Amino acid sequence: MLPVPLNKTTHQIFIMKKSSIVYGIHPLIEAIQANKKIKTLFLQKEKGSSAYKKLIQISRKKNIKIQIVPQHQFFKLKNKNHQGVFAEIDPIKTFSIKHLLPLFLQKKNPILIILDRITDVRNFGSIIRTSVCAGADAIIIPHKSNAMIGSDTIKTSSGAVFKIPICREQNIINTIKFLINHGIKIISAIETSPHDWYTVDFSGPFALILGNEEKGISQKYLEISCETVKIPSIGGISSLNVSVACGILLYEVFRQRKLN
Q: Tell me, yes or no, whether 245 lies in a domain.
A: yes
Give the range of the structural domain holding residue 64, as residue numbers without chain letter.
19-89
Cα–Cα dist 116/127, whole Å:
12
The answer to whether residues 218 and 211 touch, using CB atoms and an 8 Å cutoff, is yes
Q: What order do you get walking across the sheet with 20-23 strand by strand?
A: 20-23, 85-89, 38-43, 65-68
- Among 67, 89, 111, the domain boundary falls at 89
Count of structural domains, the chain: 2
Q: Are residues 203 and 105 in the same domain?
A: yes
Q: Are residues 79 and 192 in the same domain?
A: no
Looking at residue 189, what is its pLDDT? 96
Q: Are residues 85 and 106 in the same domain?
A: no
Looking at residue 151, what is its pLDDT? 85
Q: Are residues 70 and 146 in the same domain?
A: no
Q: Are residues 81 and 109 in the same domain?
A: no
- Among 89, 124, 143, the domain boundary falls at 89
Q: Tell me, yes or no, whether 5 lies in a domain.
A: no
pTM of the model: 0.83
The answer to whether residues 190 and 211 touch, using CB atoms and an 8 Å cutoff, is yes
Looking at residue 5, what is its pLDDT? 40
Q: Are residues 51 and 132 in the same domain?
A: no
The answer to whether residues 29 and 7 touch, using CB atoms and an 8 Å cutoff, is no
Q: Are residues 166 and 192 in the same domain?
A: yes
Q: Are residues 36 and 85 in the same domain?
A: yes
Per-residue pLDDT of the chain (260 residues; tens, 9 = 90+): 444 343 333 333 333 345 678 888 988 998 899 888 888 898 887 666 788 888 999 999 999 999 888 877 777 776 677 888 888 888 778 999 999 999 999 988 999 999 999 999 999 999 999 999 999 999 999 998 888 888 889 889 989 999 999 999 999 999 999 999 999 999 999 999 999 999 999 999 999 999 987 889 999 999 999 999 999 877 656 668 999 999 999 999 999 998 76
